Amino acid sequence: MYVMGNVTRNTIAMVLAGGKGERLSPITLNMPKPCVSFGGKYKIIDFVLSNLFNSGLKKVYILTQYRAYPLNKHIKESWSKWAGLGEFYETISPETSSDGEEWFKGTADAIFQFLRFIECSDVDYVAIFGGDHIYKMDISQMISYHIVNQADITLAALEVSAEEARRFGILAVNKDFQVTHFAEKPQEPAAIPGRDTCFASMGNYIFSTKKLIEVLKEGKRKHADLDFGKHVIPMMLEKGDRVFAYNFADNVIPGMRQEEKGYWKDVGTIDSYYEANMDLVNVEPQLNLYNYKWPILANQGNLPPAKTVFDEDGRRGQNLNSYICGGCIISGGTVRRSIVGSRCRVNSYSLVEDSILFNNVEIGRHAQIRRAIIDENIKIPDGAEIGYNQEQDLLKGYTVTESGITVVTKL
């Protein structure tokens, strides 16, 4: 663990939050992946923003693009209003702020379009993080590691098996974790010296500011679709710049349990998203949302507490092994092993099992819901059955994954 005073004071952060999240379709048809709900009350982007905030990084630009309105609204209603004097959490989008009025063409191009924000910031370091993963991380430790190594760029690295490594961009390193080569989804991934595991790039970077400005300007002259993995990192390695890997497994946050160490989820598909949510309702989930020393912050709103009503045989409001968010009323129905977002209502004689309800969902009387994801603002009619017959679900226009998860969105 590397900790060196207040290293975050000299650092600005830029969060890449413009991705479509096409593999999460149809959930992402009307919102970007970072704006998708997770764990009922949170948005996916709340995890990286909480990591930045808890690490002391409070000068943050969030670069939005695809279906930007709901994400911009979320940032404005929560994160922006928490900012104090000299601090900011601000969204910027290419369609409204870029001189060229152009969409981002690559991850590094997105930063290049707003290079003026960095050039006028007078900071020594720039943290560039993605906005669409679930994890906890003390980013100040990574910045300290970057400073100790006198690095030009430090890449957050996830230790994975050789089999898993074929799905990632892989960093070849020497014994000091200095990166010697980078390869996208290699068939024969390079192992970490002395281990049988590999370093996968997490897409999170710490740059020394002068070097970032230099490589972006040089790279943009060569590539219109400038990308960190495809262009910038290989270019820096070719030039002999100091490129280091930071082992995410070495990162320690206050109150962390041993089983949570190294937790990182992409939630890039419906099935991985569903499984990560369902882990939360286990007796001891791998991701602990009850660690008050490293809270995941979210827009609390002015919602009343959740409540259950009716206690009669056959008509009993009850929640079993579930997450129930504020403003919910479980009115004579049963919720079991599920996550229920804010302002939902589950009416009498209905059953919701192993499911995820987004905000403001209403389940009608006698409805039966199993292994389903219900999008926000949807009313399930009385007596409906979802998740019991895949053919019928498909005929109704729902999406059904190979593993049998039914996704209900507005048609």
> How high is the pLDDT of residue 99?
45
Q: For residue 137, give both structure tokens.
A: 């991380």
**Per-position DSSP letters for 243-297, written without gaps between them:** EEEEEGGG---TT--GGGTT-EE---SHHHHHHHHHHTTSSS-SS-TT-TTS---
Return per-residue pLDDT of the chain as tens, 411 residues: 555 557 888 999 999 987 777 889 999 988 889 999 999 999 999 999 999 999 999 899 998 877 778 888 888 888 876 656 567 788 887 644 444 445 666 789 889 888 988 998 889 999 999 999 999 999 999 999 999 999 999 999 999 999 999 999 999 999 999 999 999 999 999 999 999 999 999 999 999 999 999 999 999 898 888 999 999 999 999 999 999 999 999 999 999 998 899 999 989 899 999 999 999 999 999 999 999 999 999 876 789 999 999 999 989 999 999 999 999 999 999 999 999 999 999 999 999 999 999 999 999 999 999 999 999 999 999 999 999 999 999 999 999 999 999 999 987
> How high is the pLDDT of residue 378?
97
13: Cβ contacts below 8 Å, ≥ 6 apart: 52, 57, 59, 60, 61, 126, 127, 128, 129, 139
275: Cβ contacts below 8 Å, ≥ 6 apart: none
DSSP 2: -
DSSP 168: S
Could you give the CA distance from residue 278 to residue 405 in angstroms, rounded to a whole number? 12
Beta strand 399-400 with 372-374 is: unpaired
Q: Where in the chain is the domain with CATH 2.160.10.10?
A: 301-408
Distance of CA 200 to the CA centre of its chain: 17
The 10 Å CB-count burial string (b at 16+, else e) for 359-374 is bbbbbbbbbbbbbbbb
Distance of CA 334 to the CA centre of its chain: 30
Residue range 301-408 forms a domain whose CATH class is mainly beta
C-alpha distances in Å from residue 332, one per residue of 133, 230, 351, 405: 36, 55, 10, 25
- Nearest Cα residue to 18 out of 72, 56, 60: 72
Beta strand 42-43 with 315-316 is: unpaired
Q: Is 169 assigned a ligand-binding role in the annotation?
A: yes
Determine which helix (DSSP H) or strand (DSSP E) holds 54, and give its type and residue range. helix 45-54
Q: Is 73 assigned a ligand-binding role in the annotation?
A: no
> How high is the pLDDT of residue 97?
45
- 7-276 has which CATH code? 3.90.550.10
Q: Where in the chain is the domain with CATH 3.90.550.10?
A: 7-276
Could you give the CA distance from residue 383 to residue 332 in angstroms, rounded to a whole number? 14
Q: Is 260 assigned a ligand-binding role in the annotation?
A: no
Q: Is 97 assigned a ligand-binding role in the annotation?
A: no
> How high is the pLDDT of residue 2?
57
pTM (2 decimals)?
0.93
